[in-house]
Amino acid sequence: MAMRRAHGEPPQLKGKWLFDPIFSDSDFESLRQWCSDDDPRPLVVEVGFQRARFARAFCEANPDIRYMGFEVRTKFCQDANEWLERGGIENARLALVDARECLPLLIEPGTLDCLYAFFPDPWWKKRHMKKRLVSNAFAFEVSNLLKDQGILLIKTDVQGYADWAETELRAEPNYDVNRLADASAGLPLTQRERKCALHGRPTWAIEAIRNTRVSNGVTASHDH
């Protein structure tokens, strides 16, 4: 983040719930307060919210939660904020930043209820697979943020990515991992899921539930 702030150009963002934690200290602080454990409401993160079709439906159905969304595309952020405002959503915040850069800076360990990553880029080419969001390193970082029994949920319409994600998550001992029979996971459908259903394409959902921590609250260290 420091490198991007030093050498990048701040985007021109407009929106009630849209924040820029890279170039604006006040935005960063606002998001940190939103994610604070001082707030008793459950905290749910979505990585890659696109135009927030899921976010709006989820927030409408769960008005007592705090939603925190991350997206790296400015156009999607602007469209998402407009969509949330049109729906009268008050319990969401959107950040234009790569979640992997910002999550541990905004969220205290052991305070996150759920993290959703729906239909991440599969990065098909072998030389690009290191860019995939889901990895054992990412799984470990998220496990430190999750509460006991907190959930990391991955959805995809690429079977190879589902297999990859399940393998990466199972390699992390902090989780109990299941491939769900109900690929919707009982949640509002994303725009991608609706399109897949329309064209008869299957989707997959991999759920990783955070194991109960040891009694002294210390998570075993990993060499990633």
| pLDDT tens column, 177-217 | 999 999 999 999 999 999 999 999 999 999 999 998 654 44
Rounded to two decimals, the pTM is 0.89
Question: Which residue from 170, 94, 185, 98 is spatially nearest to 133, judged by alpha carbons?
Answer: 98
Q: Is the pLDDT of residue 160 over 70?
A: yes
Report the CATH number at residue 161.
3.40.50.150
Cβ-based burial of 103 (10 A; exposed 0-12, middle 13-18, buried ≥19): buried
Residue 113 lies in a domain: yes
For the segment 152-176, the average pLDDT, to the nearest whole number, is 96
Residue 221 lies in a domain: no
* pLDDT confidence of residue 13: 77
Q: Which domain holds residue 189?
A: 2-210
Residue 151 lies in a domain: yes
* Per-residue pLDDT reduced to its tens digit, 93-110: 999 999 999 999 999 999
Determine which one of 37, 39, 121, 176 is catalytic: 121
* pLDDT confidence of residue 217: 46
Q: Is the pLDDT of residue 77 over 80?
A: yes
Average pLDDT, the chain: 90
Question: Which residue from 132, 212, 213, 203 is spatially nearest to 167, judged by alpha carbons?
Answer: 132
* H helix runs in the chain, sequence order: 2-7, 25-34, 53-61, 74-86, 99-106, 136-145, 159-170, 191-198
Residue 217 lies in a domain: no
Q: Is 121 a catalytic residue?
A: yes
Residue 58 lies in a domain: yes
Residue 215 lies in a domain: no
Max CA pair span of the chain: 50
Concatenated DSSP letters for 20-54?
-TTT-HHHHHHHHHHT-TTS-S-EEEEE--TT-HH
